[in-house]
A = this chain, B = another copy of it.
Amino acid sequence: MDIEAVRWAESGQALEIIDQTRLPEAEIRLQLDSAEATAEAIGSLRVRGAPAIGIAAALAYAVEAARAAPAGKAALRERLPRVYDVLVSARPTGVNLRWALDRMRGVAEGMPDAGAEAIAERLRAEATCILEEDRAMCRRIGQFGLPLLPENARVLTHCNAGALATGGIGTALAPIYMAHEAGQGVQVFADETRPLLQGSRLTAWELHRAGIAVTLVADVVAADLMRRGMIDLVIVGADRVAANGDVANKVGTYALSVLAKHHGIPFYVALPTSTLDTRCATGAGIPIEERAADEVRRGFGTLTAPSDVPVYAPAFDVTPAANITALITDAGVLFPPFDRAIAGLAADTETEPA
């Protein structure tokens, strides 16, 4: 597993991403040496997935600090707020983006007496920490999820919650990569995931590249696969999880949860605990973004519907906790009742030594 969607460039003077807008046609690595270039890459979805975006922003923040430091502390203190603003505006709804940038800013502000080079050095270390923590988080999700996969498991997934969305081996795909590493046999059915086709463009690409058996299907085929007994379990990622275990994720997730329940197939959601939003009591409190009509009417450059026909295009849907078999987190697998399991996790975290 060496995809590394976001990493340091060899020079150490830039970060490096896989340009996801060029997939699956070509695997192009881009070096980004400024906040502006990184913001452009985030805004145009060259780098995507909440964890990967947060990492990219943190690395870019450190890159900018290293560039400004030689000019002295005043120059650094002047540049960093601008860097923060440029990056945070790249994806205004990105929770991980803001979280990573706040963490970087906190480090810089916590060193009022340090010199410019020391601050830049410390920021570089902090960005590396954010990247490494994400990698470790992915592997923990993989380890906790692994026992849920039978030998030669046939897994259905939706959208992309894989290596391309994180600094490591992904969230929903982490147990799959670990099963493959362990040589226990695993086969994946990837929903293409309309309208933006993250399943075909990204998930099929990264699994295929990793040598894992993957079969691409149109979204409507999932139910047929289940009816034919070709699916042992479903694993998807999560955009946000409410205190009661309701999950907001890419539109289409809810349908899969109903279909899995109907066919007696386990339905798992993989997520870092940072995705838990205990301020939302239930999924009803999670706002759902609507996407542009032309993502459906002109999917990939071609007009495939009347140009002025109305479209309803929610980006996400909400899967009720009752449809979920377990939540696979980096702190362990949570089983129902989820409200208690999630509250317990929050309590553990609060009483943990810092």
Contacts and interface: CB of A to CB of B under 8 A. Distances in A.
A220 B301 contact: no
B192 A24 contact: no
Given A259-B258, A312-B189, A220 B303 contact: no
Interface residues of A, number: 56
A219 interface: yes
Contacts of A309: 200, 204-205, 208, 214-216
Nearest to A222: B255
Contacts of A217: 296, 311-313
A204 B312 CA distance: 13
Contact of A303 (B24, B222, B305): B24
Contact of A251 (B224, B308, B310): B224
Interface in A119-167: none
A221 interface: yes
A305 B255 CA distance: 23
Contact of A254 (B205, B227, B299, B313): B227
A248 to B, nearest CB: 11
Most buried by B among A192, A197, A305, A314: A305
A168 interface: no
B262 A258 contact: yes
A10 interface: no
Interface string A338-352: 000000000000000
A189 to B, nearest CB: 7
Q: Which 7 A-B pairs have the closest CB atoms?
A: A220-B252, A300-B300, A223-B255, A200-B305, A194-B218, A224-B317, A300-B302
